Amino acid sequence: MSEELWTKTFRIFDPLKPLAGEELRELYVGRKGAFAPWLADHIRLSETPFKVVVSGQLGNGKSTKLAKAEELLKEEYFTARLEVERLFDIHNVNHVEVLIGIGALLYKFIPWSEVC
């Protein structure tokens, strides 16, 4: 790749905005297979807690793919969504805040009378 392309990419990149236009289409990574069924299968089959990081430019379909996996798992699992960007200062968030947020979310949505 040319230095000119990298310079252009650096200048227009903003992780909080979708990549605009077609001029950098060659930098996009193609998707092979269906992510949602793959994720659902791995969650179902994992003997230990399954972890995956879904990253990408704003607007590229991360939430849509996760919602599809959630739909595939809805009969077997309870889903609690924690929107870190909406609840925390994304430029100054730490793992403890996220864990507390998860705990608060679970407390709010789990029917504790059925658990205890």
- What does the pLDDT look like over 46-57, one tens digit per residue? 998 777 777 777
Q: Has residue 1 got a pLDDT over 60?
A: no
- What does the pLDDT look like over 83-105, one tens digit per residue? 777 777 778 878 888 888 888 88
Mean pLDDT of 112-116: 64
Percent of the chain with pLDDT over 70: 76
pTM: 0.56
pLDDT for the residue numbered 116: 61
Q: Has residue 28 got a pLDDT over 80?
A: no
Scan for tokens 């996996």, then name that residue: 69
pLDDT for the residue numbered 22: 66
Question: Phi and psi at residue 23, in whole multiples of 5°?
Answer: -65, -20
Question: What is the C-alpha separation between 107 and 23, in angstroms, rounded?
Answer: 46
> Residue 92 has which token pair?
């100054």
8 Å CB contact between 98 and 86: no
Question: What is the C-alpha separation between 82 and 103, in angstroms, rounded?
Answer: 10
